[in-house]
Amino acid sequence: MNKKSLRFQQAVSALLFLAVIGLIGWLSVQFKTEFDWTANQRNSLTEASVKQLGNLKGPVKVLAFAPAGPENRADTAQFFNRYTSVKKDLVIEFIDPIKNPTKVREFNIQQVGDLVLEYDGRRETVRAGEMNEAAITQALQRLSFAEQRFVVFLQGHGERGMGDGGAAGYSAFEQLLKANGFASQALNLGTSPRVPDNAALLVVAGPTSALQAGETKILLDYLAGGGNLLWLSDPDSPPPPPELAQALAVSFEKGTAIFPEYAAMTQDPSLFLTATYPPTPVTQNLAENTLFPLARALSTDPTAKPDPAWQPQPFLQSTQQAWIETGPLEGEIGFEPEQGDKPGPLTLGLLLTRSLKAPADATQPKTPDDPAPGAPKSAAELPGKPQRAAIVGDSDFLSNAILAQAGNGKLGLNLVRFLASRDDQLDITVPQARDQALSLSPWTVLALQIGFLVVLPLLLLAIGIGRWLSRRRR
């Protein structure tokens, strides 16, 4: 091979090499690939946030109040890059609070770093220092519903208190609902003898005294009108009035459910712990354990025939080893069928759904001989109004002392979402990143302090002296 051919090959190789480098550069501009190796993918959006962004059909604007300059806005822009990569019509607009005092007053901005999220004419404010995925996704949940409907808690019969911060209260559950876009209010039928029209559902949480006849009539009318209901009943609390239980076609068993398979682990045979659930809308993605102290069993009542009929669906069930203990929980407890104990499996949570047909006079044309074009002839031809209820044989599982245990909060939130017909928000619970905090014991902190302040300097000093002595001997 002569020199001329060799130089030609070298030139071609150099051109090909430059072309490959240029192609790689062009591909790096056209396509972007990211890898998140942090624990729990802290720098990526969770599946819950991606699902919530998919529920928002229109554009979202984020107003970020920060002074001018990239150093003041870089963190916010980088944080929302995760959202804009999923939802292309989510835009960020930075506002300098010094140059725009009018907007500061308009949006009630309290300090630099506040965020205002706008969607479909509604606003949510996220305060400075709270910019994290959980806070932003919860704000988007609150924005996603235009109509403000309330979770109404019945009071006046010893029910769990919304504002009660004690171990048995429901203040933590109320805060959980608020964070996820649900407004709540209390209702005492003695002073306000009707369920509000803007109630998404009515919650009756462990009453300790029975309802009066007039109150029962109000609840029956509420159910007949299509109202949604969540009834939580403990073994020692009175069940719903017979008329209400019959309207729901549900029976409340007398006695306490016993779970011998959990006795060794929980030291309490009346405590129900499970991570296995029948497939239902509220449990289909629930993998965490849930905890239920002192539960009562439920069953459907075949003698009750409400019209239209409810479709029951158990979502909490025990194993065959469980039974209903009808005697006192004292001494050694055992299954005694001759004393009235009933064997498992037991149903502890029940979903009820039905479709209410529209009134016939509202669906038939006024003149039979001249019907309106396309008008249905009967209520049966119209899609019915969905109605939902849930019955749980325990009210402790949503109390302040138990709510944060395992998956209790997620189950309670899913129950409310299902009953309020917010099906697209089921299972949207943003987990916290596991590696955001480092917890060290006092002894570990002391060992690190001694190591860095004493041991390491002495070690470096010893190495220096050793090298000095070694050089002097040469």
> DSSP assignment of 296-318, as one string?
--EEE-TT---SSPPEEEEEEE-
Lowest-confidence segment of 85-94, 167-176, 237-246, 417-426 by average pLDDT: 417-426
Give the pLDDT confidence of 167-195 residue by residue, as tens digits. 999 999 999 888 887 889 999 998 999 99
Indicate if the pLDDT at residue 19 is higher than 50.
Answer: yes
- Rounding to the nearest 10 degrees, give the CA dihedral for residues 361, 364, 367, 372: 140
Give the pLDDT confidence of 360-402 residue by residue, as tens digits. 544 444 444 444 444 433 333 445 678 999 999 999 999 999 9
Instruction: Set out the domains of the chain in order of their start, with CATH numbers.
Output: 39-142 (3.40.30.10), 149-327+340-357+384-425 (3.40.50.880)
CA dist 54 and 414 (Å) reads 18
CA dist 203 and 327 (Å) reads 29
CA dist 355 and 345 (Å) reads 29
Q: In this prediction, what percent of the chain has a pLDDT beyond 70?
A: 87
Nearest to 135 by CA among 80, 200, 85: 80
Sign for the pseudo-dihedral over CA of 314, 318, 323, 329: negative
Indicate if the pLDDT at residue 341 is higher than 90.
Answer: no
In which band, very low, low, confident or very high, does the pLDDT at 264 lie, cut at 50, 70 and 90? Answer: low
Q: Are 141 and 425 in contact (CB under 8 A)?
A: yes
Element (H, E) at 398: none
pLDDT score recorded for residue 179:
81
Mean pLDDT of 91-116: 91
Phi first, then psi: give them for residue 444, nearest 5 degrees: -65, -45
pLDDT score recorded for residue 359:
55
CA-based angle 249:254:260, to the nearest 5? 115
The larger pLDDT score, comparing residue 139 to residue 215, is at 215
Nearest to 304 by CA among 381, 268, 252: 252
Q: In this prediction, what percent of the chain has a pLDDT beyond 90?
A: 35
CA dist 98 and 284 (Å) reads 50
Element (H, E) at 6: helix 3-30
Average pLDDT of the chain to the nearest whole number:
84
DSSP character at residue 451: I
Q: Are 453 and 235 in contact (CB under 8 A)?
A: no
CA dist 238 and 240 (Å) reads 7
Residue type, 297: A
Tell how far CA 400 is from the center of its chain: 16
In which band, very low, low, confident or very high, does the pLDDT at 33 lie, cut at 50, 70 and 90? Answer: low
Lowest-confidence segment of 144-148, 156-160, 165-169, 375-379 by average pLDDT: 375-379
Predicted TM-score (pTM) of this structure: 0.69
Indicate if the pLDDT at residue 154 is higher than 70.
Answer: yes
pLDDT score recorded for residue 430:
59
